[in-house]
Amino acid sequence: MKKLISLFTLILFISACEGPQGPPGRDGYDGIDGGLIVSSAFEIVVNFNASNNYEYIENYGFDVYPSDVVMVYISWETDNGQDIWRALPQTTYFNEGSLIYNFDFTQDDVRFFLDGDIDFSILGSEWTQNQVFRVVVIPADNVDSVNINDYNNVIETLNIQSFKK
């Protein structure tokens, strides 16, 4: 019985101990806990040609963290004056082979490039010139809550109001 009382007293003593308070955590978006972290986004027009090896690299001009995800969308077509955006990569098939619009990214920049087994030099200018892309940096905290392949879902969920040009 003495051992049981001693054990009970020890448990009570340990559970009553409190150490020093840790440092305060970071506030959420606009100081509201649990809020959405702001995403950065921009629009860019790219020309692909032999002199740039059918690729273009753009520095962000803002911070991108190692855990962030970058998505790129291409203006694929227009319907009743409204742009239709598709997530990259996008593939088009020709008799001569396939053309893939693709991208990769680092913490410093995003690279747009043509890929595929077609000879890029035979492509018409509608496939290589004035290609409009939108780049969205999705903070890691939001990746699971966004369907990154659905452009409209990304824009709405991340509350992106405009694209820097």
For each of the domains in the chain, give its residue range(s) and CATH number, in order of start. 33-157 (2.60.40)
- pLDDT at residue 101, rounded to an integer: 98
What would the two tokens of residue 132 be?
């409009």
Structure tokens at 17: 């101990």
pLDDT digit string, tens, across residues 56-76: 999 998 889 888 899 999 999
Neighbours of 55 (CB within 10 A): 16
- Is the pTM above the cut of 0.85? no
Percent of the chain with pLDDT over 90: 51
Distance of CA 53 to CAs 48, 49, 56, 115, Å? Answer: 7, 6, 8, 11
Mean pLDDT lowest among 27-31, 53-57, 72-76 = 27-31
Average pLDDT, the chain: 81
Residue 140 has pLDDT above 90, yes or no: no
